[in-house]
Every structure is written in C-alpha cells, then in structure tokens.
Amino acid sequence: MIDIKLIREERDLVKENIKKKFQDEKLPLVDEVYELDKKVRELKQKGDNLRSEKNNVSGEIGKLIKEQKKDEAEAKKKRVADINNELIAIEEEETKINEEIRTKMMVIPQIIDKSVPIGKDDSENVEVERFGEPIVPDYEIPYHADIIANFEGMDKEAAGRTSGEGFYYLMGDIARLHEAMLAYARDFMIDKGFIYAIPPFMIHGNVVEGVMSFPEMQAMMYKIEGEDLYLIGTSEHSMIGKFKGQILNKSELPVRMTSYSPCFRKEGGSHGLEERGLYRVHQFEKQEMIVICEPEESMEYYEKMWRYSVEIFRNFNIPVRQLECCSGDLADLKVKSCDIEAWSPRQQKYFEVCSCSNLGDAQARRLGIRVKGDKGNYYVHTLNNTVVATPRGLIALLENNYNEDGSVTIPEVLRPYMGGLEVIKPKQK
C-alpha cells in the first residue's frame, strides 16, 4: 500500500507506475482515491470547525445561566446537541469513506524501483548474471522422479491414498538428503548473523492481508474451515507478521531472521500439479530469510540476500543465474524482485529455486510496523528471500550431482549432515 501523499501530490507518478505494470484497468482508482481523500479532509475540517463552535457555545451556556437568561441558555444547549448529532454523522461518513479509500488503495501497486526492467510478464524477465558453468554430461540424466525411484526414495502412490494428489512420502537416503539441505541452509544463515526461528504455521486473515495481495491469497492459501486461520504458503508471512502493530527502536534494526517451516499451497490454475515428480506439489519445506531495516538500507540488503542464495547453491555444485523480474511480473507489493534459477542438465535450461524481494514499506504500512525516529515514527522496509526450498532444490542437486552409474555425489558441505557419506547409491534390484 502506497503513501496517500503520493495520491495527493504526485498522481501522475502513481498512474505512470500503474502503466509500467500494464494494469491500466486500475488507473481510474487514482482519481477516485484523490476525490475521496479530498472529501475526507473536507469532512475533517468541517468537524474541527464544529468542535470549535461547540467549545465556544458550551462556554457561553454557563455565563447565560448565571445571568438567568434561561431561554438563551436553552437555545445554546440545543445548538450543542445539534452539533453533537452533526459530528456523529460526519464521523460515520468519514469511517465509511476511509474504508472505501483503504479498499481501493490496497490494489494500487507499490511504486517500483527505477532499475526494474519494463515488461508485460515473466517471458520478459532479464538475465543479469550466471554463476558456474552449465554442464551437460555425455550421459543421460533421468527425470528426477526416476532418479529418486532408483533409491526407493519416494512414494506418491501411498500419499495419494492418505492425502490425495500433490503429496508424497520421501524415504531413506533421499529423505535424509532433503533434510541435510535444510539443516545446512539453516546453519549457513546463522553463520551470516541471522537469528533462527520456527514460526507459527497458521496465521490470521488480517496478517495475510498485510503481507500479500488478495488475488495472491486466493490463488495460494488454504483456509481453515470455521476459523480465522490460514495455512502459510511461505514462512516470511508469519515472520513479518510477528511485528504487526509494533513500534521498533532504531537500535533494534536491522532485524535479520531465518526461519524453517513446512509450506502449503493450492498450486491450481494453469500450472497445475505434477503427477509423477516433485516440482509442483501441495506441501514442501523451506528455509527462509527476512530483513526488516531502515528504508535507506533496503537495497543494500536486497543485494546481499540474493547473493546468499547463489553462494548456497554453488556450494551444492549447482550452476545458477540471477533473473531480474520485469515490471509486469512483480507482485503489487514489490519494489524490486529477482529469481535465482538453477541449471537443469536434463532439460538443458534453468528453473526457479529462490525468489528475493524488496517490498519497500508496503507490508509495513499494511501491518503498522514502524520505527521510533528522532523526528517522529516512520515505516520500516521489509525484504524476504528463499534460502532453500525443497524439493525444488533437491531436484537441482540430484540432477547436477548425478553420476553415470546412477549414484549421486553428496556435495562436501552436506556430508557432515549425511553421517559422512560421500556418495549415495541406488538400491540393488
């Protein structure tokens, strides 16, 4: 949610930003909010004038009573009663209009950073840099579900019986490798100075509303029937929500936290679920990072955060690239965002494994997260980034460390979490 001052003072800037995001249908909202805000300020002024008149009239009543001017005193009392009724009506109208303003403001997109490339959708995202040489070996890399099957590492059939399509059991060495990646990611971030946290896996609706747009919520999140609770689709939502309504001291900033959670997503729409594999599923696990900081520091942290992802995946022997998200691919709350994509030697292309976002003060405004400054309170900036999300990270690891004999080499950084194993070998049949 943007600052209402931008609507008051820089409407053309707000409209131009909407055009850059190819959301022209939202252009009328800017003028609608401007007129509604103008009306609210007029009502406030009228209310202030009435309160001033009420104070003056109330002061006169006592004097008139002392002077035994009862009729005049009664007339003044009636005027005070009329003013009170007018004030009630004004306050009710203000409340109604303010709610209308908020509803419209919630769908006006955040002002994007000047460095964001302009494009209609993810097909126009821009590759910025590659890390590691994308190698295609001279032997075939099987589909990841087939690699896992050779280790007897997954059972989607049983999961279908217990839970339905989009779920899975991970077993044996594959399950262990999956958890080793998360444990390494956790320790990596702790070593970078982030505080480790395990957050609630369900959050209230007003927290959901504070951290994401309504269309995103509808597409992603599962609601608990009969409860004001949603299963989290990613842990940064509950991590940012931790600070809802708080006024932080400058000495507390920056807040740097890394969190583990299972994540639950509908994965509906055009993408759908993956029948055999693990690329699109209803449930997965993730290590996340968030930063809450001073506004002037957010771009510096943005750069650091996506580079942490690169470092981790290179430590897994996985080539990656940074892909800058274009204006049309940015969610409405985001100022700037990029994806880290892992190389798939099987498909001979890259696929997304991490997403890093600077949301400016959008979430802070919605959730009321401020910092106490020398010249008053102001909103913080919030950022988030995937450290490792499995099983997508697991898919990239298996493909890039797969050997011709069907074994998988364990990256050196993961061996302490795998009991010292250097290689895992498929089951003999």
Greater model confidence, 165 or 194 = 194
Distance separating alpha carbons of residues 171 and 192, to the nearest angstrom: 31
pLDDT of residue 74: 85
The answer to whether residue 114 is domain-embedded is no
**Per-residue pLDDT averaged across 148-172, rounded?**
94
Asked if 355 and 305 sit in the same domain, the reply is yes
Is 207 within 8 Å of 233 (Cβ atoms)? no
pLDDT of residue 428: 67
pLDDT of residue 279: 84
Asked if 216 and 286 sit in the same domain, the reply is yes
The answer to whether residue 112 is domain-embedded is no
**Residues with Cβ < 8 Å from 203, sequence gap 6 or more?**
229, 230, 232, 237, 238, 241
Q: Of 73, 105, 137, which residue constitutes the final position of a domain?
A: 105
Number of domains in the chain: 2
The answer to whether residue 117 is domain-embedded is no
Asked if 273 and 216 sit in the same domain, the reply is yes
Asked if 261 and 328 sit in the same domain, the reply is yes
User: Is the predicted pLDDT of residue 268 greater than 80, yes or no?
Assistant: no
pLDDT of residue 111: 97
User: Is the predicted pLDDT of residue 272 greater than 60, yes or no?
Assistant: no
Asked if 128 and 92 sit in the same domain, the reply is no
Q: The domain that contains 212 carries what CATH number? A: 3.30.930.10
Over residues 278-311, the pLDDT tens digits come to 888 999 999 999 999 999 999 999 999 999 999 9
Greater model confidence, 146 or 61 = 146
**Per-residue pLDDT averaged across 52-66, rounded?**
88
3-state secondary structure the chain: CCCHHHHHHCHHHHHHHHHHCCCHHHHHHHHHHHHHHHHHHHHHHHHHHHHHHHHHHHHHHHHHHHCCCHHHHHHHHHHHHHHHHHHHHHHHHHHHHHHHHHHHHCCCCCCCCCCCCCCCCHHHCEEEEEECCCCCCCCCCCCHHHHHHHCCCEEHHHHHHHCCCCCCEECHHHHHHHHHHHHHHHHHHHHCCCEEECCCCEECHHHHHHHCCHHHHHHHCEECCCCCCEECCCCHHHHHHCCCCCEEEHHHCCEEEEEEEEEECCCCCCCCCCCCCCCCCCEEEEEEEEEEECHHHHHHHHHHHHHHHHHHHHHCCCCEEEEECCHHHCCCCCCEEEEEEEEECCCCEEEEEEEEEECCCHHHHHHCCEEEECCEEEECEEEEEEEEEECHHHHHHHHHCECCCCCEECCHHHHHHHCCCCEECCCCC
The answer to whether residue 381 is domain-embedded is yes
pLDDT of residue 270: 46
pLDDT of residue 359: 97
The answer to whether residue 429 is domain-embedded is no
Number of helices (H), then strands (E), belonging to the chain: the values are 13, 18
Over residues 62-72, the pLDDT tens digits come to 888 888 888 88
**Per-residue pLDDT averaged across 46-73, rounded?**
89
Give me 422's structure tokens. Answer: 């250097």
**pTM of the model as a whole:** 0.90
Band (429; pLDDT cuts 50, 70, 90): low
User: Can you give the residue range of the structural domain that contains 44?
Assistant: 4-105
pLDDT of residue 212: 86
Q: What percent of the chain has pLDDT over 90?
A: 86
Asked if 62 and 206 sit in the same domain, the reply is no
Asked if 53 and 170 sit in the same domain, the reply is no
Asked if 318 and 261 sit in the same domain, the reply is yes
Q: Of 105, 138, 159, which residue constitutes the final position of a domain?
A: 105
Q: The domain that contains 37 carries what CATH number? A: 1.10.287.40
Over residues 388-414, the pLDDT tens digits come to 998 899 999 999 999 999 999 999 999
Q: Starting at the earlier edge strand, list the strands of the sheet with 222-223.
A: 202-203, 230-231, 222-223
Asked if 98 and 135 sit in the same domain, the reply is no
Asked if 34 and 132 sit in the same domain, the reply is no
The answer to whether residue 111 is domain-embedded is no
**Per-residue pLDDT averaged across 344-352, rounded?**
96
pLDDT of residue 274: 63
Band (381; pLDDT cuts 50, 70, 90): very high
The answer to whether residue 113 is domain-embedded is no
The answer to whether residue 110 is domain-embedded is no
Asked if 250 and 138 sit in the same domain, the reply is yes
Distance separating alpha carbons of residues 69 and 316, to the nearest angstrom: 91
CA angle 50, 56, 62 (to 5 degrees): 135
Asked if 98 and 170 sit in the same domain, the reply is no
pLDDT of residue 220: 84
